[in-house]
A and B are shown apart, each in its own frame.
Chain A
């Protein structure tokens, strides 16, 4: 199985500041046939299901604010929130869909400083 490792496990950022979450896969998730990184990011708030934010590593899901952005390729990826809002407090997960079983990172808890 591909192991997804996120860092840090938790993060406290001031309102209006940038938040950066990292995700590393144990093998490349860049598919040569379509030149796409098979990597998604989700946001999960307490008592709610995960919400898709980003897919193909950098494509924002419809309706997701543009302060959320994804970057990276191969094995190293980043989710950036450019200006943290109070409603962004949540746990964030990366997920690879390069090969089954699809796997998730352990999650990064984002809080307000």
Chain B
């Protein structure tokens, strides 16, 4: 059974870079057909698709985040990571990693990690 677990600092200062890692167990991130995805949820709000890295290493990020997003994978550790630069208070959210089927729906999610941007 595939499980995902987010890790990273819970507090980031404005203008710095938010860095999170998702560790995958029970399955390989290089398995065909899956997109390893980051999604966030602002406090009391809905869900926002950040981006993904595919099983083959292709990446995509939401244009709304401009060029601040970098998503990478480490197959040796079976992890994928999110870096979000130049953060502001608007980036305060719960960040989820998820396994997304090739169709585009997320069938396995991590528990989420809360990141607060504050000085």
Q: Which residues of A contact B (CB under 8 A)?
A: 1, 38, 40, 42, 48-52, 55-56, 61, 93, 95, 97-98, 100-107
Instruction: State in angstroms the CA–CA spacing of A35 and B60 once bound together.
Output: 25
Q: In the complex, A92→B60 CA distance in Å?
A: 26
| Top-10 shortest CB links A-B | A97-B104, A49-B109, A40-B105, A104-B47, A101-B62, A55-B105, A102-B49, A106-B46, A52-B107, A101-B49
CB-CB contacts below 8 Å: B94-111 with A: 96, 98, 101, 103-107, 109-111
Q: Which residues of B contact A107 (CB under 8 A)?
A: 46
**Tally of B interface residues using CB under 8 Å:** 20
Which residues of chain A are within 8 angstroms of B109 by Cβ–Cβ distance? 49-51
Cα–Cα distance between A46 and B1 once the two chains are bound (Å): 23
Q: How far is the CA of A102 from the CA of B98 in the complex (A)?
A: 14
B64 interfacial by beta-carbon distance below 8 Å: yes
Question: B81-119, CB under 8 A of A: which get 1 and which 0?
Answer: 000000000000000101001011111011110000000
Q: Which residue of A lies closest to B51 (CB)?
A: A101
B112 engages A49 (CB within 8 Å): yes
B46 contacts A97, CB within 8 Å?
no
Query: Least Cβ distance of B71 to chain A in Å?
Result: 13
Contacts of A61 in B (CB 8 A): 107
Cα distance, A98 to B105, chains bound together (Å): 10
Alpha-carbon separation in the docked complex, A100 to B109 (Å): 19
Q: How distant is B108 from chain A, measured CB to nearest CB, in Å?
A: 8
B63 close to A (CB within 8 Å): yes
Least CB distance, A78 to chain B, in whole angstroms = 17
> Contact at A38–B104, with CB atoms within 8 Å?
yes
Nearest chain A residue, comparing its CB with the CB of B108: A52
The residue in chain A whose Cβ has the minimal distance to the Cβ of B47 is A104
Do the beta carbons of B63 and A49 come within 8 Å of each other?
no
How far does the Cβ of A87 sit from chain B's closest Cβ, in whole Å? 18
Q: Are B49 and A105 in contact (CB under 8 A)?
A: no
Cα separation A56 to B101 with both chains bound (whole Å): 12
Contacts of A98 on B, CB cut-off 8 Å?
Answer: 104
